[in-house]
Amino acid sequence: MKTAAIIGGGVIGGGWAARFLLNGWDVRVFDPDPEATRKIGEVLDNARRSLPGLSDTAMPEEGRLSFHETMSEAVQGAQWIQESVPERLELKQKVYQTLQEHCDAGAILGSSTSGFKPSELQGCASRPEQIMVAHPFNPVYLMPLVELVPTDKNPPEMVEKAKEILTGVGMFPLHVRKEIDAHIADRFLEAVWREALWLVKDGIATTEEIDEAIRMGFGIRWAQMGLFDTYRVAGGEAGMKHFMAQFGPALEWPWTKLMDVPEFTDELVDLIAGQSDAQSGHMSIREMERIRDNNIVSMMRALKAQDFASGAVLNAHDKRLSSEAGMVRCMADIADPAQPVVTVARAVPVDWLDYNGHMTESRYLHAFADATDRLMEIVGCDQEYIATGGSFFTAETHIRHIDEAHLGARIEVRTRVLNAEGKKMHVWHEMYAGDRLLATGEHILIHVSLETRRPAPPSEEIAENLRTLAAAQAGLPAPEGVGRHVGQPR
């Protein structure tokens, strides 16, 4: 069984616990804080309602979470150990000494440190090759980036193993090839933070105005394209050279005070804190976290639709999850063709909800359309076949809304082929949450030529696969509601 040990269960450690746990790992936690169980439980509540919404396939079954009295007990059998203790080098080195006395020699020991270099962490360690920086971003259970910073003492195979594990829990390991204080991302953040402090101190902008400038403008742009690609595009057809020639001289202009840090006085702290309270003090931290999580899920799901930036990472993770879950992809994958085929298995994400707080009606059709697409793929009408000029068009749909589905509900669509004659495919979908029937969908599809956009016979392979399923499932009882028209009494 895959096991991760979390040493330090604060905001970052709790996020790591959620990331591993919800991706099917057993998680063993050590934290001397008597409130650790409650705090991690609250982080997990947030993660459970948000993380599954990033996936369009079923997440693994949640691993087992346990809390331990000692570090030596927590690390037993762990393949990954994540240290997230306070940023004091002496404390971290002492923790590593204890961990290495009891952990497996082949385990990876990642540090969440924001600033220390891995060579400093390895210090007097008995096995420095185990220790490397694995610096995440909050919330760890949602944000894909983790800065992986090794040294020459870390064998290449251990670095690759670390990348594989992090990728396997849906993260994007950025291999920082040369160690430096604060790694890469935090150096950018520190520069922006320093400039923001000056803007507030000099009365040029409030905390709210600065945040609006980021979240309404370049923050969204950077989220999908980064810095250099954004500037390359800004250079037009001439590209990066034109951009640098046009804007390079501005580097010598007094646009920033990045090299001059304001004195961190009580007055400045009070000014920042007061403006921040005025900006968002009417919301609790938990409310703000949920707003943040909903926004992150919605934005990253939008990027999934374009298979771009972090959305591409999520799509690749979905493919792995779907493969590991054994989802049916072709006729050979069907264990018993006489039974309905599971064509969709996923959680209900936040952007599928309506003003009533449950899954909006268009998303029932969305789920059934995904089920139909999967059935088409199973019988051979996949992208390769469609590229040859044939496909199915939906001619008629009837959906019955039977029960509600709420945020995070794990839904499953089970599909039958009721009839397959000539150019016609008659499909029946049933959507369940556990044993609870949520909806049914009845659909008539017609095979067409994409060249003429008119009905045309499917390939013999597709026709035979559809006939096989229809014949095998013919012995099942007729579905309740099949052939109904709108408004017909039950």
Q: Is 417 annotated as a binding residue?
A: no
Q: CB of 17 within 8 A of CB of 40?
A: yes
CA distance 229 to 366: 33
3-class SS at 197? helix
Q: CB of 112 within 8 A of CB of 90?
A: no
pLDDT of amino acid 258: 74
Q: Is 8 annotated as a binding residue?
A: yes
Q: Is 486 annotated as a binding residue?
A: no
CATH fold for domain 3-175: Rossmann fold (3.40.50)
This prediction's pTM: 0.80
Cα–Cα distances in angstroms (integers) from residue 93 to residues 100, 124, 125, 174, in the given order: 11, 7, 7, 24
pLDDT digits (tens, 9 = 90+) for 24-34: 999 999 999 99
Q: Do 3-175 and 327-472 have matching folds?
A: no
Strand partners, 447: 392
pLDDT digits (tens, 9 = 90+) for 452-483: 999 999 999 999 999 999 999 999 999 999 99
Residues of the chain with pLDDT under 70: 241, 244-245, 247-255, 259
Q: Is 115 annotated as a binding residue?
A: no
Domain ranges in the chain?
Answer: 3-175, 185-258, 327-472
**In terms of CATH architecture, what is 327-472?**
Roll (3.10)
Burial of 413 (0-12, 13-18, 19+ CB in 10 A): buried
Backbone angles phi, psi at 4, to 5 degrees: -120, 140
**226 dihedral zone (left: phi>0; alpha: psi -120 to 50; beta):** left
